[in-house]
Amino acid sequence: MAGKGGVGKTTVGATVAVAAARAGAKVQLIELEGQSQLAALFGAPEMRFEPTTLIERNDAGGSVLGRRITPDEALMDYLGAHGLDRFTDRLSVTGIIDVVTTAAVGLRDLMALGKIRQIADRGEADLVVVDGPAAGHAISFLRTPAGLARASLGGPVHSQAEAAMEFLADESRCRVQLVCVPEVTPVTECIDTAYALEDEIGVALAPLVVNQTVAQLKGLVTAGRATSLPPSAEAVVERRIASTRIQKAQLQRLNEGLPLPQIHLPHILSARLDRHHINTLADAYAGGFK
């Protein structure tokens, strides 16, 4: 999942996981940074590196496991798997890693990508949904393998980088699903990000999710003109008319600017989203594929 902050990327990630589990998929839902609201959406305790259950196995055989894979944890996991957990002097190891990763920026991000690839390739899940870093950072995050491969450092890092690039470029294994809302700035950024992802990283794009679409209220424009309302109510009606108009124009821009199928999710009229809302969104998401 990728998208600008505030467009509901995390919510949509949870929605995709729920929709896929309903269809019978074993899903792992992964957050890369510790600050997301993912676990709270499922009423589960904070996620850890080890998988925890967010949705138990259902009749269709689907389930959702959640885990948090920070780049730091991924690096330690990788080093552990390569024999470094034998070292009892943890401080020395951590210290050296600090020095190495300070100079070789991106090494940690590469390890996080490697861990995600491993989960997918080992068949630990049918679908891995990654709540990625916010827009600008998503591109630099996904650009890391190419950057490190170009630095031609040789050795295991180089082969990790090449494997990650191969994974990103293989559309049968990996796609980026962009999320935006039907407003001017998010749509502009979404179109730019889509082209940057395809051109610079060579990753395939999944259908575009347009989140928070408002329902069109029939007759609002005419009725609004004909009715005398208190100023605060009039402002609300005007804003609804404006946002409907802006939404229409921005959906048009997306149609013209991005040759991608779109899935529209409804604007949920609550500031605090819960599992119930995610179910509503998952209905709309699944409906978008029909």
Partner 1 sequence: MSALSRSAASGDAVVLLGAGGVGKTSTSAALGIAAAASGRNVVVLTVDPAKRLVETLGLGSTYPSEVVAVEGLDVTGAGSLHATMLDPGHTLTSLVDEFAPSPARAAAIHRNRLFQSLVTSLSGLSEYMAAERFRQLLADPRFDMVIVDTPPAQNGVDVLDAPARLTDLLDHRLYRALLAPRRGLLRTLNAATQLAARAIGKVVGASLLSDVVEFFALFEGMDRGFRDRAAEVDELLASNRTRFALVTIGRPEPIRTATWLSDQLRDRGIVPDCLVVNRRLTPSANAPRSAHPAIVAAIDDHNQLAESETEVLNSSGLVQGYKVVEINESDEEDPLAALIQMSTQL
Q: Give the burial class of 8: count Cβ atoms within 10 A of its Cβ; 0-12 exposed, 13-18 middle, 19 or more buried.
A: buried
Cβ neighbour number for residue 209 with a 10 Å cutoff: 28
Cβ nearer to partner 1, comparing 53 with 185:
185
Cβ nearer to partner 1, comparing 63 with 250:
250
Cβ nearer to partner 1, comparing 172 with 232:
232
Rg (CA), the chain: 22
Which string of x and - marks every residue 226-255 that binds partner 1 (by CB under 8 A)?
A: xx-xx-xx-xxxxxx-x---x---------
Give the span between the Cα atoms of 55 and 145, in whole angstroms. Answer: 33
Instruction: Tell me, by CB under 8 A, how many residues bind partner 1.
Output: 80
Which string of x and - marks every residue 198-217 that binds partner 1 (by CB under 8 A)?
A: ----------------x--x
Q: How many residues does the chain have?
A: 290
Q: Which of the residues 35 through 94 are near partner 1 (CB under 8 A)?
A: 35-37, 40, 78-79, 82-84, 87-89, 92-93
Cβ nearer to partner 1, comparing 95 with 261:
95
Least separation, in Å, of the C-beta of 178 and partner 1?
A: 15
Residues in contact with 61: Cβ distance below 8 Å, sequence separation at least 6, in sequence order = 24, 26
Q: Which of the residues 146 through 205 are near partner 1 (CB under 8 A)?
A: 147-148, 151-158, 184-185, 188-189, 192
DSSP at 62:
-
Contact status: 99 vs partner 1 (CB under 8 A): yes
Q: By C-alpha distance, which of 146, 141, 176 is closest to 1?
A: 176
Q: Could you say which of 46, 96, 171, 279 contacts partner 1 (CB under 8 A)?
A: 96
Least separation, in Å, of the C-beta of 210 and partner 1?
A: 16
Cβ neighbour number for residue 288 with a 10 Å cutoff: 16
Structure token pair of residue 153: 């450092």
Give the span between the Cα atoms of 27 and 7, in whole angstroms. Answer: 23
Which string of x and - marks every residue 108-127 that binds partner 1 (by CB under 8 A)?
A: -x------------------
